[in-house]
Amino acid sequence: MRFFSDNAAAACPEVLQALVDANRLDTAYDGDAWSARMDGAFSDLFGKPVRALWVTTGTAANCLGLAALCPPHGAILCHEFAHIEQDEAGAPGFFTHGAKLSLLPGDGAKLLPAAVDEACDRIRADVHQVQPAALSITNATEYGLTYRADEVAALGDLARRRGLGFHMDGARFANAIAFANADPADVTWRAGVDVLSFGFVKNGGMNAEALVFFDLDKAELVPRLRKRAGHLLSKGRYCAAQILAMLEDGLWLTNARAANGAAATLAKAARDRLVYPVEANELFVRMTATEAASVRAQGFDFYDWAPGEVRLVTSWDQDMDAVARLAAVIEAL
Amino acid sequence: MRFFSDNAAAACPEVLQALVDANRLDTAYDGDAWSARMDGAFSDLFGKPVRALWVTTGTAANCLGLAALCPPHGAILCHEFAHIEQDEAGAPGFFTHGAKLSLLPGDGAKLLPAAVDEACDRIRADVHQVQPAALSITNATEYGLTYRADEVAALGDLARRRGLGFHMDGARFANAIAFANADPADVTWRAGVDVLSFGFVKNGGMNAEALVFFDLDKAELVPRLRKRAGHLLSKGRYCAAQILAMLEDGLWLTNARAANGAAATLAKAARDRLVYPVEANELFVRMTATEAASVRAQGFDFYDWAPGEVRLVTSWDQDMDAVARLAAVIEAL
Amino acid sequence: MRFFSDNAAAACPEVLQALVDANRLDTAYDGDAWSARMDGAFSDLFGKPVRALWVTTGTAANCLGLAALCPPHGAILCHEFAHIEQDEAGAPGFFTHGAKLSLLPGDGAKLLPAAVDEACDRIRADVHQVQPAALSITNATEYGLTYRADEVAALGDLARRRGLGFHMDGARFANAIAFANADPADVTWRAGVDVLSFGFVKNGGMNAEALVFFDLDKAELVPRLRKRAGHLLSKGRYCAAQILAMLEDGLWLTNARAANGAAATLAKAARDRLVYPVEANELFVRMTATEAASVRAQGFDFYDWAPGEVRLVTSWDQDMDAVARLAAVIEAL
Amino acid sequence: MRFFSDNAAAACPEVLQALVDANRLDTAYDGDAWSARMDGAFSDLFGKPVRALWVTTGTAANCLGLAALCPPHGAILCHEFAHIEQDEAGAPGFFTHGAKLSLLPGDGAKLLPAAVDEACDRIRADVHQVQPAALSITNATEYGLTYRADEVAALGDLARRRGLGFHMDGARFANAIAFANADPADVTWRAGVDVLSFGFVKNGGMNAEALVFFDLDKAELVPRLRKRAGHLLSKGRYCAAQILAMLEDGLWLTNARAANGAAATLAKAARDRLVYPVEANELFVRMTATEAASVRAQGFDFYDWAPGEVRLVTSWDQDMDAVARLAAVIEAL
């Protein structure tokens, strides 16, 4: 019974069905009927005209988004534990031709306006220092915390005032929205976000993520950058079809609620051991090596995160019996 | 009835079935059971140990391969009509951090050793000129010609002598092998090829291409470059599974033969109008604007290529009735 | 007696004196009194407000200028024999992060509007092809030809119409202006040039070139790019001082006229052997290997350029006795 | 009386004389007699065969050196206040095509082995994290501290063990050597340093710095990278001549001792106000705003560094009367 990554889960049946349905001749690249519906589907979801492009990975989504916001000689402000800093092999430096990630602290991998303000204040405007051009946050954060609309808006105000583009890495955007029971518009464009990496793969997709531009001007070059980075698929309709299937009838929220629900069950059992509140589908749980070994011996797989700390991740298709059993095991430690 | 691109065709049923079969929990990225079989499957096919990675596009395959062969300050020798020069939005410059494509002439988009030799001779070895580091050919070529083993070997000898890495863009490798009835080893590593972009998408795949390194040392950095370029999928098993399905029972050759067969039927009908011999699944056919309009009026879609010239492309699932009808229409012009 | 490069000549006495005069404490980088006079001095020369920056090499001037005009995903149209293509080690690819040089033909390394127009026409506007963003010409050309104001203006009109930035590599701008007896404004901004690499080193400078922006908006980022490329000298006043000294009393033209005069003397002697008209300080002279050996045996140094062809270059300080002797030797061949 | 930067000082008379002496026809680029002596002169100084190249700025020296040690997908470990991080406009990212600077803490901008070790331990070896490839230290540090030979050697051992290239930014190398009265070999190659940016400009040079490779293999590509970055001057002899003049008779040490001596005089006067020990030619002095204003009112110029802290920098030509007067003024505060 595996609790180590939502990345490893299967694709949901609706996604597979969408691939079957899309399996006929159409125009190549993004000239097909499914790709043509992307802008509309996301515009409906967000309640304003947006530009939405499919890509196959979160790294590509993040880095194309950042490349649209930050020139090679600029800096992107982000949390020191952000995925773009920790887990993308330097891809932001590749896509932006050498822009700098300026790393900021913050509890639970969450950025607060004060940290951003202070970082900006420290930078002289002369040609010797790299000027900040963009701000990037992750929602839900790398430690499973969720930004509330007003928290994003405070950062958005700051970004506007400082002239920074504002990117949200939403690899687990669905989990964040499901947890906060928020209007997607409120935590994105209404709060000043210019571009969102809207994750589907961790949430039941197979290999399709969306890059959503609320600022249409900033999207202008992105189709060209996507092609230049080798991310324009010949048969793009299979990406678009997955995404459209997950938007339909709110499947993206249904899946996220399932994963969050499993996490909540475990969180209750581990309530005295939690390093952070559980606000999505990740738990960071204090556990001695002996305890962890005992849990593993009972058939549960998960990552050690730090000395005395393990990480549990639930996914859209987590078996609820296994969840109940793991909860019982943790409670019994 | 469409004859404009093999890119636009559907995925073949075996590929879809492979996705269904792979649709269960496994390790993320390329840690899964399917990805683990890639090296072995291609080593069997080529009769020597190779390193094989999946990516989702031919552009990514080509450019990761080229980045492994050519430093930022080097040059890649290729045909002036090569896909990497004409149709990849400058991706080679992106992946190599600014390496130069040195463009060479050649009938039917085919490179001959003399052109390569001459280009190398023209370059002074000093620091002012960009030194050639790699040679890239396309097989089948952009004009549907197929390299024979001895033709590749002559280029391979030259590459070795000149210290050039040797890349083959095999977006239509299957069509070339099927046409020449060749041993894949003979037109690749035995002929000096270091790395092959082995195309599956145009041949019935959905979104998986293989990058095959015959020179294992040159592959060493590529997994890192693939990740840095955002091309390491979270659920890589769906790529690997497609490719493995197409390798099984020679499906890749079966599909290619189908496409080539359709092209051969049309070629026979258009025999007096062909700009180039038809050695794969593309035809370049002389046709006046009036003639082309008449063919289109009878329900056939294709691209104009040049004044008085159209391009027809067949695919693995081309309807043979439609092919027969188009052949008759062309014959009747 | 050396006739192989104006690059190898000494610096003129006024330049050395300017270094001595500038040799006192001032503000670092370009905050000094001399650097502060650059914009004004060039604005006076060109009869309109310009932005002028010093750099130490022609390659840096060209490539910072091009980086200001062309994005990483764009193309720069230039002659196939342009210095930026042939002799800058791929620096344009480095400074632009991988932009492409699209190479055009033309007699005497001179670009004609028809070639530019045709190249633009061939490029599809889709995301698969690299879009042209800039046009770069060299004046005087690599074969010593000089553009007349109307020739530049025809290209400038085309650049405007096509949306291309327009760069002039003026490594031998002084020689071109001296030969044509032209108003510098007429062959630059009045003819549509956006940015000029104005060469001083080949013309008696020590290590200072100017990058002159006629389009002030395009200059905006350049100080930052110059620093990022390591080209902002700590003691910039020694660059500025050299340039200002050469602008004073028209020294740049005096020096260029001296070099051109020497070339004209040789051209007269070699009139039946010239490959191109001599319109600056370079001569391309047909000479058999035996003839060349005989000339060398009489004490003259120069480069072989092609089979049966040598290149002679004169400089601002060419000894006129040596010139007369070489003229006599050539005449006597 | 200015105490704000050694960057702003004049060039010393021997450097000017060297320019006059070099002012004659020679071969262009680095083919001249002076450039040919660079390797030998530095090999003599360091007591082993080295490869030494001139460039015109410290940023170019640092970044070419780092580009030789670190691939685009690697990381350079350096102090969070290192010049390459704080004051080079992102040039390391430009020259390395996007490598990452991993920032480490340390008192007085000095790196200790423990910090480096810990940073390396935190990095997983997988493809998701950027792997460290180089270590860069500054000697003297940004806060005027000098590394002793054994301190460098401890870092050098660590670098070897971790497989890191080892770069020393020696913008004020002369001041560090003069202060420590050290053998240059002991604090560089004998301690494991692979490449040194050996500064001359702050120490009485005009516009020439040296990049010294102790590891000859790592130097191999650098002449090509220098050209590609526009840093190969046409008349390189004027750079080489400056450097050779400063190496002769130990002028580099004489100049550095003069600057250090002036700093020592001020340090004595400010002994109760020093933020860091004074081990080169920079002083960081606690001073209230009122005190600073009073000092300035008496004719002394310097930078505010932090609230309640000013920076004083002395140079090779500091007027010792002015130094004595400033010392008295500080003492009297």
CATH of the domain at A297: 3.90.1150.10
CB B76 within 8 A of CB B101: yes
Question: Are A129 and A266 members of one domain?
Answer: no
B199 and B280 share one domain: no
Residue A142 located in a structural domain: yes
Q: Chain C partners of A232 at a C-beta cutoff of 8 Å?
A: 127
Task: Determine the straight-line distance between the first and last CA of chain C, rounded to whole angstroms.
Answer: 18
pLDDT digits (tens, 9 = 90+) for A299-316: 999 999 999 999 999 999
Smallest Cβ distance to D73: which of B72, B127, B225? B225
Q: Which residues of B touch C130 (CB under 8 A)?
A: 89-90
- Would you call C79 helix, strand, or coil by DSSP? strand
For residue B79, the distance in angstroms to the closest alpha carbon of chain D comes to: 25
Element counts in chain B: helices (H) and strands (E): 15, 10
Minimum CA–CA partner of B72 in chain C: C94
Nearest to A128 among C73, C225, C227 (CB): C227
> Contact B316/B258 with Cβ under 8 angstroms?
yes
For B130-145, the pLDDT digits (tens) are: 999 999 999 999 999 9
Q: How far apart are CA A230 and CA B53, in angstroms?
A: 15
| Cβ–Cβ below 8 Å for B227 and A91 | yes
Q: List the one residue out of B83, B17, B2 whose CA is nearest residue B315.
A: B2
Could you give the residue ranges of the DSSP H alpha helices within chain C?
Answer: 13-21, 33-36, 38-46, 58-69, 83-86, 91-95, 113-122, 149-162, 173-180, 216-219, 222-228, 237-247, 251-269, 289-297, 320-331
* Mean per-residue pLDDT over chain D, rounded: 97
Residue A5 inside a domain? The answer is no
User: What integer pLDDT is reported at residue B173 of this predicted model?
Assistant: 98
Q: Is B125 on the interface with D (CB under 8 A)?
A: no
Does the residue C5 lie in any domain?
no
**Exposure string over A255-291, b if 16+ CB within 10 A, otherwise e:** bbbbbbbbbbbbbebbeebbbbebbbbbbbbebeeeb
| Contact yes or no for D235 and C201 at CB 8 A | yes
Bridge partners (DSSP) listed for residue B131: B74
Write down the residue that tokens 């760069």 correspond to: C167
Give which of B121, B117, B131 is closest to B74, Cα–Cα: B131
Q: Indicate if D133 and D265 belong to the same structural domain.
A: no
Interface test with B, best of D27, D64, D127 (most B CBs within 10 A): D127
| A230 contacts on B by Cβ (under 8 Å) | 55, 57, 59-60, 63-64, 88, 91, 95, 229, 231
**Structural domain tally of chain B?**
2
- Nearest-by-Cβ selection for D233 from C91, C207, C232: C207
B29: tokens are: 């990225």
- The reply to whether D197 and D301 lie within a common domain is no
Do residues C189 and C72 share a domain? yes
The token pair at C3 is: 């006739």
Are B91 and A228 in contact (CB < 8 Å)? Answer: yes
Note whether C109 and C137 are within 8 A (CB): no
Q: Which two tokens stand for residue A303?
A: 């990552």
Interval B308-315 mean pLDDT: 97
Residue A5 has pLDDT above 90, yes or no: no
Residue B13 at interface with chain D, using a CB cutoff of 8 Å: no
C-alpha A286/C-alpha A267 separation (Å) is 12
* Residue D2 resides in a domain: no
Question: Measured between alpha carbons, how far is B252 from B261 in angstroms, rounded to an integer?
Answer: 14
Indicate if B234 and B322 belong to the same structural domain. no
Reported confidence tier of residue B8, pLDDT bands at 50, 70, 90: confident
State the pairing for strand pair C131-138/C74-79.
Answer: parallel
Q: What mean pLDDT, rounded, does chain C reach? A: 97
* pLDDT mean over C28-42: 97
Domain end (from B249, B264, B291): B249
Q: CB count, 10 Å around CB of C65?
A: 32
CB–CB of B8 and A24 under 8 A? no
At residue D5, the pLDDT reads 84
Cβ burial of C37 (10 Å; 0-12, 13-18, 19+) is middle
Q: Which residue has the tokens 């079989």?
A: B37
Given an 8 Å threshold on Cβ–Cβ distance, is C94 in contact with B72?
A: yes
- Residue D129 and residue A94: Cβ atoms within 8 Å? no
What is the SS3 assignment for B256?
helix
What average pLDDT does this structure show over D234-249? 97
Using only the alpha carbons of chain B, give its radius of gyration: 20
Chain B CB contacts of D227 under 8 Å are 127-128
Tell whether B151 and B298 lie within a shared domain. no
Instruction: Reply yes or no on whether the pLDDT at A287 is more than 90.
Output: yes
Give B94's contacts in chain C (Cβ within 8 Å): 72-73, 97-98
CB-nearest to D127 from B72, B73, B223 is B223
Q: What ipTM was assigned to the predicted interfaces of this complex?
A: 0.97
Whether A6 maps to a domain, the answer reads: no
- Interchain contact, B221 vs D73, CB within 8 Å: yes
And the tokens for D6? 């050694």
DSSP codes, C85-129: HHSSTTHHHHHTTSPEEEEE--GGG---HHHHHHHHHHS-SSTTS
Residue C229 and residue D55: Cβ atoms within 8 Å? Answer: no
Cβ burial, residue B290 (10 Å; 0-12/13-18/19+): exposed
Query: Comparing B260 with D8, which gets the higher pLDDT?
Result: B260
For B127, which of D98, D127, D227 is closest by C-beta distance? D227
Taking alpha carbons only, the member of C246, C108, C251, C260 closest to residue C175 is C260
- What is the helix (H) or strand (E) element at residue C54, kind and residue range? strand C51-55
Beta strands in chain B (DSSP E): 51-55, 74-79, 100-104, 131-138, 165-170, 195-198, 209-213, 282-286, 303-306, 309-313
Q: How far is D29 from chain B (nearest CA, A)?
A: 10
Q: Write out the two tokens for C48.
A: 């309109």
Please indicate whether, in this complex, the C-beta atoms of D93 and A93 are within 8 angstroms of each other.
yes
Nearest to D206 among C95, C232, C235 (CB): C235
The Cα D100–Cα D53 span in angstroms is 25
Q: What are phi and psi of D283, to 5 degrees?
A: -125, 135
For residues A44-59, average pLDDT: 98
- pLDDT tens-digit series, residues D27-78: 999 999 999 999 999 999 999 999 999 999 999 999 999 999 999 999 999 9
What pLDDT, on the 0 to 100 scale, is given for residue B90? Answer: 98
Residues of B in contact with A90 (CB under 8 A): 228
| C216 shares a domain with C93 | yes
At residue A196, what are phi and psi to the nearest 5 degrees? -125, 130
Instruction: Describe the crossing of helices C251-269 and C173-180 by its angle, rounded to 10 degrees.
Output: 70
- CATH number at C40 reads 3.40.640.10
Select from C64, C222, C224, C231 the residue whose CB has the most chain A CBs within 10 Å, as the one to mutate to test that interface: C224
Mean pLDDT computed over A289-296: 97
Nearest to B221 by CA among B59, B63, B35, B64: B64
Give residue A272's domain range: 251-331
**Which chains would you list as touching A if contact means 3+ CB atom pairs under 8 Å?**
B, C, D
b (16+ CB within 10 A) / e for C92-119? bbbbbbbbbbbbbebebbbbeeebbeeb
Q: D-chain residues within 8 Å CB-CB of A72?
A: 90, 93-94
Residues 261 through 280 of chain A touching chain B, CB cutoff 8 Å: none
Q: Write down the pLDDT at residue D8.
A: 86
Whole-number pLDDT of residue A102:
98
Section B97-108 average pLDDT: 98
D305 touches chain C (CB under 8 A): no
Look-up of token digits 């423990």: D114
Q: Does C232 touch chain A (CB under 8 A)?
A: yes
Which tens digits make up the pLDDT trace of B45-93? 999 999 999 999 999 999 999 999 999 999 999 999 999 999 999 999 9
- How does the average pLDDT of chain A come out, rounded? 97
DSSP-assigned states of every residue in A17-29 = HHHHHT-S---SB
Cα–Cα distance, A76 to A64 (Å, whole number) = 13
Q: Are residues A260 and A246 both part of a single domain?
A: no
Q: What is the pLDDT of residue B1?
A: 82
Q: CB contact, 8 Å: C221 with chain A?
A: yes
| Domain final residue pick, B249, B271, B305 | B249
Q: Smallest CA–CA separation between D90 and chain B, in Å?
A: 16
**Chain A nearest-CA residue for C223:** A127
Structural domain contains residue B4: no
Q: Which of A99, A107, A95 lies closest to A77, judged by CA?
A: A99
Distance, in angstroms, between C44 CA and closest chain D CA?
Answer: 28
Kindly list the strands in the beta sheet with D131-138, ordered across the sheet, starting from the edge strand earlier in the chain.
D51-55, D209-213, D195-198, D165-170, D131-138, D74-79, D100-104
* pLDDT level of residue B312 (50, 70, 90 thresholds): very high
Q: Which residues contact A263 (CB under 8 A, 6 or more apart)?
A: A144, A278, A280, A281, A282, A283, A312, A313, A314
Quick one: which of C64, C88, C31 has its CA closest to C233?
Answer: C31
pLDDT > 90? residue D1: no
Residue numbers in B near D225 (CB within 8 A): 73
- Please check whether residue C38 is in contact with residue C240, taking contact to mean a CB–CB distance below 8 angstroms: yes
Does pTM top 0.95 for this prediction? yes
Q: Among C73, C128, C223, select the one facing A127 at the smallest CB separation.
A: C223
CA–CA distance, D221 with D213 (Å, rounded to integer): 12
How many CA atoms does the CB half-sphere of D231 hold within 13 Å?
34
Q: Do A56 and B60 touch (CB under 8 A)?
A: no
In a domain, A25, yes or no: yes
Taking the Cβ of residue B19 and every Cβ of chain A, the question of whether any pair is shorter than 8 Å is answered with yes
Contact assignment for C98 to B97 by CB distance below 8 Å? yes
In this structure, what token pair is assigned to residue A152? 């994003």
A107 and A161, same domain (yes or no): yes
Gyration radius of chain C over CA positions: 20
The pLDDT value recorded for residue D4 is: 85
Position D83 pLDDT exceeds 90: yes
Residues from chain D that touch B27, judged by Cβ atoms under 8 A, are none
B71 and B124 in a single domain? The answer is yes
- Exposed/middle/buried for B263, CB within 10 Å: 0-12, 13-18, 19+? buried
Residues B275 and B243 in one domain: no
At D98-138, the pLDDT tens digits run: 999 999 999 999 999 999 999 999 999 999 999 999 999 99
Q: Do residues A91 and D131 make contact, with C-beta atoms less than 8 angstroms apart?
A: no
What b/e string do you get for D223-233 counting C-beta neighbours within 10 Å, with b at 16 or more? bbbbbbbbbbb
Q: Which of D205, D220, D249 is the last residue of a domain?
A: D249
What is the C-alpha to C-alpha distance for residues C257 and C263, in angstroms, rounded to an integer?
10
Helix (H) or strand (E) holding B158: helix B149-162
The reply to whether B6 falls in a domain is no
CA max distance for chain D: 60
Task: Name all contacts of D251-256 with Cβ < 8 Å and 24+ positions apart.
Answer: D251/D12, D251/D14, D251/D204, D252/D174, D252/D200, D252/D203, D252/D204, D253/D174, D253/D177, D253/D178, D255/D12, D255/D174, D255/D203, D255/D204, D255/D316, D256/D172, D256/D174, D256/D175, D256/D177, D256/D178, D256/D203, D256/D281, D256/D316
Asked if the model's pLDDT at residue B4 lies above 90, the reply is no
From chain D residues 48-67, the ones with a CB under 8 A of any chain C CB are 55-60, 63-64
Chain C, residues 67-106, CB within 8 A of chain D, namely 88-91, 94-95
Asked if A124 has any chain C CB less than 8 Å from its own CB, the reply is no
| Phi, psi for C21 (deg, rounded to 5) | -65, -30
Q: What is the pLDDT of residue D220?
A: 97
| C28 in Cβ contact with C235 (< 8 Å) | yes
Q: Name the residue in chain C with its Cα closest to that of A94.
A: C97
Instruction: Give the pLDDT confidence of A89-122 residue by residue, as tens digits.
Output: 999 999 999 999 999 999 999 999 999 999 999 9
Best C84, C86, C102 residue to mutate vs chain B (most B CBs within 10 Å) = C86
